[in-house]
A and B are shown apart, each in its own frame.
Chain A
Amino acid sequence: MLLAFCQWVEASVVGQFISGSTWAFPTIESIHVFFLVIVVGTVAIVDLRLLGVASRNRSVSRLSNDVLPVTWGAFVMALITGGLLFTSRATHYLANWEFCAKMVMLLLAGANMLLFHFLTYRDVERWDNDAITPVAARVAGALSLLFWIAVVVLGRWIGFTVQ
């Protein structure tokens, strides 16, 4: 079913246009990289705060409220541009293990964020201003950094390995 979907996407007007054009793929890819680095960098700002490495004199909730709207906006744009890139060679990406691993890492990053938000962050008032955050928050920060670094590395590897 996944394969059928990929075949359909690849044969669609959008897929055909992007794979047939000389400028469309690099242009969309540049925009994708632009938003991706903003996602990863702003996520890292919050992660490093949770780990007690940076912005220690700034409350966690205030920092999150400043940074995360930028993260979400950039994430939506990265998702749209990434989806467009995918349409150009959908079946090839599906068959590429680096691509599949990147998607798994994205899901793990998302699951980690949800767990943090709905469990650890619920009582943020109790440790909002602490330089040293609870263990669960530090673990969430470390995992988040790890998953996002993996997303970037795997993403770069796709460019070298996709057939």
Chain B
Amino acid sequence: MLAEIGKFSDWLSMTPISMTFQTVAWIIPAVQSVHILAIAIVMSSVIMVDLRLLGLMGHSQSISGLTRRFIPWVWWSLVVLLISGLILITAEPRRDLLNGVFQAKMALLIVAIVLTAVFQEMVRRNMEFWDLSPGRRRAAVATAIASLVVWSAIVGCGRWIAYVEHG
């Protein structure tokens, strides 16, 4: 498996598009800047909803209202993150694909996406879901903490990719 990923990375890095990304000096920092700005939108949107779930903010507003207002920004930003991320992988395939931290980041990203989608669907089906019982309020707190931990870990991994040895 790793050998195949290595072979694919080597093939990708020899393609004209990858060579362009490697040689035009401003492309990588520019795309990384876009990537970070999209992360800023994701993190702040997630935090707005999570702080409300934790009961720390915005009591004047319903959880369902905040979810409908902020979670769509997460999905649109993820599209930007996916596109900019693919450009960065194309520019330096080995640095990412054969990097344990990058692989951990992708696994965490799947967890974050599933968590966000399930949460959004529950709010859509039943707007008062999280307020119905003390048990559900505890579940809301657990969801918020899990979301904050997973998204923070994704940001941390993102920065650490640059610092670990890769295959």
Contact = CB atoms under 8 A, between A and B. Distances in A.
Contacts of A37: 36, 39-40, 43-44, 155
A29 B43 contact: no
B36 A33 contact: yes
A29 B159 contact: yes
The secondary-structure label for the interface of chain B is helix
Contacts of B32: 156
Interface string B30-55: 10110011011111110110010000
Interface in B114-167: 152, 155-156, 158-160, 162-163
Interface residues of A, number: 28
A40 B43 CA distance: 10
Contact of B44 (A42, A149, A153): A42
B152 to A, nearest CB: 6
A152 B159 contact: no
A147 to B, nearest CB: 13
Interface in A7-65: 26, 29-30, 33-34, 36-38, 40-42, 44-45, 54-55, 58, 62
Interface residues of B, number: 32
Contacts of A54: 69, 73
A97 interface: no
Contacts of A149: 37
A30 B58 contact: no
The secondary-structure label for the interface of chain A is helix
A101 to B, nearest CB: 14
Contact of A41 (B40, B61, B69, B162): B40
B152 A34 contact: yes
B29 interface: yes
A157 B26 CA distance: 9
A44 B40 contact: yes
Given A67-B48, A156-B32, A26 B40 contact: no
A66 B58 contact: yes
A135 interface: no
B156 A30 contact: yes
Given A26-B159, A33-B155, A41 B36 contact: no
B37 A152 contact: yes
A100 interface: no
User: Top 4 nearest A-B pairs by Cβ distance?
Assistant: A41-B44, A41-B40, A37-B40, A40-B40
Given A30-B159, A54-B69, 7 more contacts: A30-B160, A38-B43, A38-B44, A41-B41, A66-B57, A70-B57, A152-B40
7 contacts: A30-B156, A30-B159, A37-B155, A40-B44, A44-B40, A44-B44, A160-B28
